[in-house]
Amino acid sequence: MTVPATGATSFGRSPDGGGDFRTLAALTPGTVNASRIVPTVVLNELFYHSISENDDEQFVELYNPGSSGMSLRNWQLSGGVDFNFASTHSVPAGGYLVVARNKEKFLALHTNLTATQVVGNFEGRLSHAGERVQLKDASGVVVENVTYGTDGR
């Protein structure tokens, strides 16, 4: 089943009948769901367990492989962490944005980055044992869903 979202987009379970709702390429009410639209922004890195054991060093890195910048206005991270992106947050084309648990600590440790490349602070913490982290667009549709663990892939 495809559920219309705002405007000319739709979202539905992908794969058809799967667990998570995704943005789909077309409206397909009453038929097999259309293919998923691959997100322009992806969860690129989850740093969940530092050598120092200090959870304030945790971060989530987003990557935009596209050829134009992507606004994250009203997007959110959920799962073990919660973060709501402000209207000013974006990921540049071919660029990265770090969401830190403690932005000040992160910038002090990573002096090669600027305050415009890092946002924060997220609520909660990334589990040291693994869990699911989701990136949702302004409509609440899951555009990226990652489950990580401690035993390799």
How many C-beta neighbours within 10 Å does residue 102 have? 18
Give residue for tokens 């990334």. Answer: 126
In 132-149, which positions are buried (b, 16+ CB within 10 angstroms) versus exposed (e)?
A: ebbbbbeeebbbbbeebe
The set of residues, in sequence order, having a beta carbon less than 8 Å from that of 24 and lying 6+ positions away, is: 2, 9, 10, 11, 12, 14, 33, 34, 35, 36, 37
Domains by residue range for the chain, with CATH:
1-37 (no CATH), 42-148 (2.60.40.1260)
User: Which pLDDT band holds residue 87 (cuts at 50, 70, 90)?
Assistant: very high
pLDDT score at 21:
73
For 45-67, how does the pLDDT look when each residue is reduced to its tens digit (9 = 90+)?
999 999 999 999 999 999 999 89
In 3D space, the residue among 63, 76, 59, 81 whose CA is nearest the CA of residue 133 turns out to be 81
pTM for the predicted model, two decimal places: 0.77
CA atoms of 2 and 71, how far apart (whole Å): 25
Q: What three-state secondary structure class fits 18?
A: coil
Q: How confident is the model at residue 3 (pLDDT cuts 50, 70, 90)?
A: very low
